[in-house]
A and B are shown apart, each in its own frame.
Chain A
């Protein structure tokens, strides 16, 4: 028991090492939230292009570009994309004169672009699942295709794919744990730094895992509540 206590003290209390975890957590959250926003925007845009093409045959060129994007992003590992983004594409670019800030921006771009590809296919499946009679009803009332999409199709599609989108959010949160590859000290890297200083793996790594787990559980709970609210119109 006392061995555990001293282990705990050494890993978290001494030299205020717990700050590696709290600062890392902040970074993880920042990168995740930024990437989720970017991924959702990208994903919805790509999904709208793809489903519009599938339904009406328009937007051929855009649809082709979207397909390349989906193939490349979904066909290569996230870590590789992150490193290509950092060392190749933005290898010599410094945003706003700050190397530190540049890392964050690159990470958000890389994770967001990656997530967008998965969000796109999720949302597209939701759009295609909305009955075509809904579009006809919208058009027959005098709405344009765009208005019909925005007011009638997308809200229903969003509701249908919400659990899948939430899952993507959770996957993304955990996926940011490779941000250390480009020198970002996120939660995982923070734990790893403690391990390298104390030569003790058990406490810091379990602490890191525990924090991820708690975040995922909170997110899952929030999604359930949102789903219940959206399910109002299904109640009999």
Chain B
């Protein structure tokens, strides 16, 4: 589904991603872990071209995003839902408007259909009574669940999660991870950057260890955590587990 070929990203002379190649298949749940500043988030943000890579190719469903025109990219981004660390809900809109604005304005659904979709999604994320609330009245965990509903409203083929629980109070992490697990169980293709190792163990089909701008090791979670080979990964795991 996503083919990454020789991806390089440099910010003013500093190499953040150093020739990464990787393939993500439909239905996979990829969890990316690694020390901070290792390029995990940059890698994720290159996948939907929020950051433009310095060189290399990103092929999404066969189309090279690095060569796509802006209008094409807009269409492709619709197929790649993104969830941010800081939620980035639209503060001037109610929950309903947050969820319905994209399908309505992008011409995917009529107003009635979008409203029905919003109600359905709020049911899934467990916040049906918040439909007319403003984001400022919600807790962090609730905000992130709404943000997930908003991303789902345009029926993406893949969901990208950029540290979705890092800005949450500890007691709210569970509700968001639970929702993500539900999505995974429903067959959504997911790429998740996170520090939640329990989530990686439980949900991932593959875990990627990114450090120094490279994927230093990857394996199914059992193997990844029980039998790490790369010394950097061993060191990393010994610090966090």
Q: Do residues A141 and B134 form an inter-chain contact, with CB atoms below 8 A? A: no
Q: A144: nearest residue on chain B (CB-CB)?
A: B74
Q: Is A136 part of the contact surface with B, judged by Cβ < 8 Å?
A: yes
Q: Is B188 part of the contact surface with A, judged by Cβ < 8 Å?
A: no
Q: Is B80 part of the contact surface with A, judged by Cβ < 8 Å?
A: yes
Q: Do residues A134 and B137 form an inter-chain contact, with CB atoms below 8 A? A: no
Select which of B71, B91, B150 is within 8 A of A141 by beta carbon: B150
Given known A-B contacts A142-B102, A143-B74, A233 and B134 have beta carbons under 8 A apart = yes
Given known A-B contacts A139-B77, A140-B48, A142-B74, A133 and B84 have beta carbons under 8 A apart = yes
Cα separation A136 to B86 with both chains bound (whole Å): 11
Select which of A139, A140, A144 is within 8 A of B151 by beta carbon: A140
Q: B83: nearest residue on chain A (CB-CB)?
A: A140
Select which of B50, B105, B147 is within 8 A of A151 by beta carbon: B105
Given known A-B contacts A151-B101, A232-B134, A140 and B91 have beta carbons under 8 A apart = no
* Set of chain A residues within 8 Å of B90, measured between Cβ atoms: 134, 137, 152, 156
* Set of chain B residues within 8 Å of A141, measured between Cβ atoms: 77-78, 101-102, 106, 150-151, 154
Interface size on A, residues (CB 8 A): 23
* Set of chain A residues within 8 Å of B147, measured between Cβ atoms: 137
Q: Is A236 part of the contact surface with B, judged by Cβ < 8 Å?
A: yes
One digit per residue, 1 when the CB lies within 8 angstroms of any chain A CB and 0 when it does not, for chain B 144-155 equals 000100110010
* Set of chain A residues within 8 Å of B136, measured between Cβ atoms: 233-236
* Set of chain A residues within 8 Å of B192, measured between Cβ atoms: none
Q: Is A103 part of the contact surface with B, judged by Cβ < 8 Å?
A: no
* Set of chain A residues within 8 Å of B102, measured between Cβ atoms: 141-143
Given known A-B contacts A139-B77, A151-B101, A233-B134, A144 and B70 have beta carbons under 8 A apart = yes
Q: Which residues 110-150 of A sit at the B interface, judged by CB distance below 8 A? A: 131, 133-134, 136-137, 139-145, 147
Residue of A139, A141, A145, A151 with most partner-chain B CB within 10 A: A141
* Set of chain B residues within 8 Å of A143, measured between Cβ atoms: 74, 102, 105-106
Cα separation A131 to B135 with both chains bound (whole Å): 15
* Set of chain A residues within 8 Å of B137, measured between Cβ atoms: 235-236
* Set of chain B residues within 8 Å of A236, measured between Cβ atoms: 136-137
Select which of A139, A140, A233 is within 8 A of B92 by beta carbon: A233
* Set of chain B residues within 8 Å of A174, measured between Cβ atoms: none
Cα separation A139 to B84 with both chains bound (whole Å): 12
Q: Is A159 part of the contact surface with B, judged by Cβ < 8 Å?
A: yes
Main secondary structure of the interface of A (DSSP, over half): helix
Q: List residues of A whose CB falls within 8 A of some B CB.
A: 131, 133-134, 136-137, 139-145, 147, 151-152, 155-156, 159, 232-236
Q: A155: nearest residue on chain B (CB-CB)?
A: B92
CB pairs A–B below 8 angstroms (11 shown) = A137-B84, A140-B48, A140-B50, A140-B80, A140-B151, A141-B77, A141-B150, A142-B78, A142-B154, A233-B136, A234-B91
Task: Report the minimal beta-carbon distance from A141 to chain B, rounded to whole angstroms.
Answer: 4
Q: Do residues A144 and B84 form an inter-chain contact, with CB atoms below 8 A? A: no
* Set of chain A residues within 8 Å of B164, measured between Cβ atoms: none
Q: Is B82 part of the contact surface with A, judged by Cβ < 8 Å?
A: yes
* Set of chain B residues within 8 Å of A136, measured between Cβ atoms: 50, 82, 84, 88
Q: Do residues B92 and A144 form an inter-chain contact, with CB atoms below 8 A? A: no
Q: Do residues B74 and A137 form an inter-chain contact, with CB atoms below 8 A? A: no
Task: Report the minimal beta-carbon distance from B70 to chain A, rounded to whole angstroms.
Answer: 7
Q: Do residues B134 and A156 form an inter-chain contact, with CB atoms below 8 A? A: no
* Set of chain A residues within 8 Å of B92, measured between Cβ atoms: 155-156, 159, 233
Cα separation A142 to B154 with both chains bound (whole Å): 9
Q: Is B2 part of the contact surface with A, judged by Cβ < 8 Å?
A: no
* Set of chain B residues within 8 Å of A137, measured between Cβ atoms: 82, 84, 88-90, 147
